[in-house]
Every structure is written in structure tokens, then in C-alpha cells.
Amino acid sequence: MKADKDKCIACKRCFPYCPMGRIQSYHRHETIPGRVYIDIDQDACTDCGMCLRAKICPVNALFQPEEPWPREVRGVLSNPMIEFMGSQTPGRGTEEMKTNDVKGTFLPGEVGVGIELGRPGVGAYFRDVETVAMALMKANLGYELAAENPVTHFMSDKKTGKLRDDVVNEKATSAIIEGKCKLEKLPEVLKVLQEVAKTLDTVFTLEVITKVPPEGEVPIVPVFKKLGMWHSINSKNNMGLGEPHFKFYEDEK
Ligand code: SF4
Ligand code: SF4
């Protein structure tokens, strides 16, 4: 995102809308006497588009230039209005895990594991995303990367989790590594993530999903309890708007 210095009047109205915090700096206009404008830190900005979508600039100074590769990946991962052509999924290129009841991505005995690196105010560089992906793949625990995911798409080697060299210094408000493993491998996967978390220059949220069997016991809860790890039982449910393609258990209608 950029601000046109010939239009901007440094009113600061766009500041509170920026999830990356105070990334704007003031400058005196070189040719217009008394005019001060703001400049947006291009390294910190993730091209999320929030400031522009808020439509609060009184002089229409904000504009999003068409960004060349590799900077283009910032908007793909951070701006929910951009459709990622790799998966043709709007909203940052992934449906995450919430359509499992329709798609049957995670079958009984399998666990979906998503690692969402970065948050508003922090963001995540892809070099950190790569560090986590490579640690998971190196551990050889059968972690299977989701094919229809932008982070997977930006990998140069899906066996090792290595990202393309030209994207590692790009940044997103957040980026999600998505995949799945067998339930019995989950404790080891969690330990790998605990270790790699110490090396990162950002934060991540861990998302873990299983199909709940007819008996109603959530299979991943005992795993977290045994490891002494805190977990929150949240859910993003598909409320029947899609026709399930899968019959997970014999007694399901
Ligand atoms: S595009 Fe997003 S990150 Fe960049 S200045 Fe606007 S609100 Fe901030
Ligand atoms: S809202 Fe517009 S005029 Fe005000 S500081 Fe932001 S870019 Fe400049």
C-alpha cells in the first residue's frame, strides 16, 4: 500500500485501521510549503488493504499499486478480498479445516494440524514459515501437506517444506501451514512444534482437528492432557450448508 505524497495531508485517520501498527512516518513535502505527508513502511506493510477498504482517507491518497512477484504474495496471504488463483479460493487462499464435514479431508484416525504463523501487529516473514514447515517434514512423522494451500504452493520442494528462495523475505499478516498426520503421531508432531517455536521471530496459533466419533469422545484431548499442554476446544462448524460427500462412520445417515 502506498500514500500519494502530493495528496496526503497527514490527518492520521488511516492509522487505527492498520493491523501492523504504527508503520507510517511523517515527512515534510519537498515542494509544497507547510505540507506534511505520511509514508508507509514498505517492509512492514503486508498489503492487507484494510486502510483502503475502510474508505476513511479524506483526500483519496491511499492506493494499492499492482505489485510484482514476489511482493505479490503479501496481498494473496493478507488481503481477504484477493482470490488465490492456485486454489481458486478467496479469503487468503484457504478454507482451513472447517469444511471437513463436507470434504472429508481428515478421516477417522487422522488429525488435521494447521500452524498459523503471525498475528495482526506482528505478522510473519516466510523465512519463519519455512523454518516450521522444514522442521515438520524433517522429523519424518508422515505429516502430509495440504495441496490446496498457498504456503504449500510457494514451496520449491514439498518433500522438505522448503519455500522458493524469492519469497522467504516476504511477509504476511499471517500464513497457515496446513496438513494432517495419523493420530498416533500427534504427540511427536506437537513436540517438534514446541521445539521449533523457540527459534521463531513471530508467534503461531496451533489448530488441531479430528472427526468426533459417535461415542462423542474427542480423540485429541487425551493427547494434549498427557503432554500437559493447554488446549482450547473451539469449533468452526459447517452448519449443513454443503452436502457431505463423506460417510465417516457406518451408523451415520
Ligand atoms: S495495507 Fe494493511 S498493513 Fe499496509 S498500511 Fe494499509 S492497513 Fe497497514
Ligand atoms: S487518511 Fe489519507 S490523508 Fe490521512 S494520513 Fe492517511 S493517507 Fe494521509
Question: 211 is written with which cell numbers?
Answer: 472427526
Which residue owns the Cα nearest ligand 1 atom 8? 18
- Residue 100, pLDDT > 80, answer no
Whole-structure pTM value: 0.88
Q: What is the 8-class DSSP label of residue 84?
A: B
Task: Please state at what angle helix 126-138 crosses helix 186-197, rounded to 10 degrees.
Answer: 140
Ligand 2: centre distance to CA 166 (Å): 32
- Residues 58, 9 contacting (CB under 8 angstroms): yes
Q: Which of 21-25, 70-74, 86-90, 194-198 has the lowest mean pLDDT?
A: 86-90
Q: In testing the pocket of ligand 1, which one of 4, 46, 56 has its CB within 8 Å of the most ligand atoms?
A: 46
Q: How far apart are CA 220 and CA 211, in angstroms?
A: 10
| Percent of the chain topping pLDDT 70 | 88
pLDDT tens, residue by residue, 208-246 = 988 888 887 889 999 999 999 988 877 665 555 666 666
pLDDT at position 240 = 55
Ligand 2: centre distance to CA 9 (Å): 6
| Mean pLDDT for the stretch of residues 66-95 | 79
pLDDT at position 88 = 58
* C-alpha of 79 from chain center: 11
Q: Which amino acid is at 226?
A: K
pLDDT at position 179 = 95
β-pair partners for 163: 155
Using pLDDT thresholds of 50, 70 and 90, give the confidence band for residue 144.
Answer: very high
Pick the atom of ligand 1 nearest to 62's CA.
6
Q: Which amino acid is at 217?
A: E
β-pair partners for 26: 38
**Sign of the dihedral through C-alpha 108, 110, 111, 113:** negative
Using pLDDT thresholds of 50, 70 and 90, give the confidence band for residue 83.
Answer: confident
The terminus-to-terminus CA distance of the chain in angstroms comes to 50
Place of cell 499499486: 65
pLDDT at position 161 = 98
Which residue owns the Cα nearest ligand 2 atom 4? 11
Question: Does residue 38's CB lie within 6 angstroms of at least one atom of ligand 1?
Answer: no
Question: Does residue 46's CB lie within 6 angstroms of at least one atom of ligand 1?
Answer: yes
Number of Cβ within 10 Å of residue 161's Cβ equals 24
Q: Which ligand is nearest to the Cα of residue 16, counting in written order?
A: 1
Question: Does residue 1's CB lie within 6 angstroms of at least one atom of ligand 1?
Answer: yes
Residue ranges in the chain assigned as alpha helix (H): 50-53, 72-78, 100-103, 126-138, 150-153, 186-197, 221-227
Using pLDDT thresholds of 50, 70 and 90, give the confidence band for residue 13.
Answer: very high
Q: Give the residues surrounding ligand 2 with Cβ less than 6 Å away.
A: 3, 8-14, 38, 56-57, 59, 61-62
Q: What is the dihedral of CA 89, 92, 93, 97, to 10 degrees?
A: -100
Using pLDDT thresholds of 50, 70 and 90, give the confidence band for residue 190.
Answer: very high
Q: Which domains does the chain have, with CATH numbers?
A: 1-65 (3.30.70.20), 79-227 (3.30.70.260)
pLDDT at position 104 = 80
Ligand 2: centre distance to CA 57 (Å): 5
Question: 237 is written with which cell numbers?
Answer: 462448524
Between CA 7 and CA 16, with CA 13 as vertex, the angle to 5 degrees is 135
Which residue owns the Cα nearest ligand 1 atom 3? 45
Q: Which ligand is nearest to the Cα of residue 37, counting in written order?
A: 2
CA-based R_g, the chain, Å: 21
Q: What is the 8-class DSSP label of residue 89?
A: B
Ligand 2: centre distance to CA 46 (Å): 18
| Percent of the chain topping pLDDT 90 | 70
Q: Which amino acid is at 191?
A: K
pLDDT tens, residue by residue, 22-55 = 899 999 999 999 999 999 999 999 999 999 999 9
Question: Does residue 246's CB lie within 6 angstroms of at least one atom of ligand 1?
Answer: no
- Residue 94, pLDDT > 90, answer no
Using pLDDT thresholds of 50, 70 and 90, give the confidence band for residue 148.
Answer: confident
pLDDT at position 253 = 54
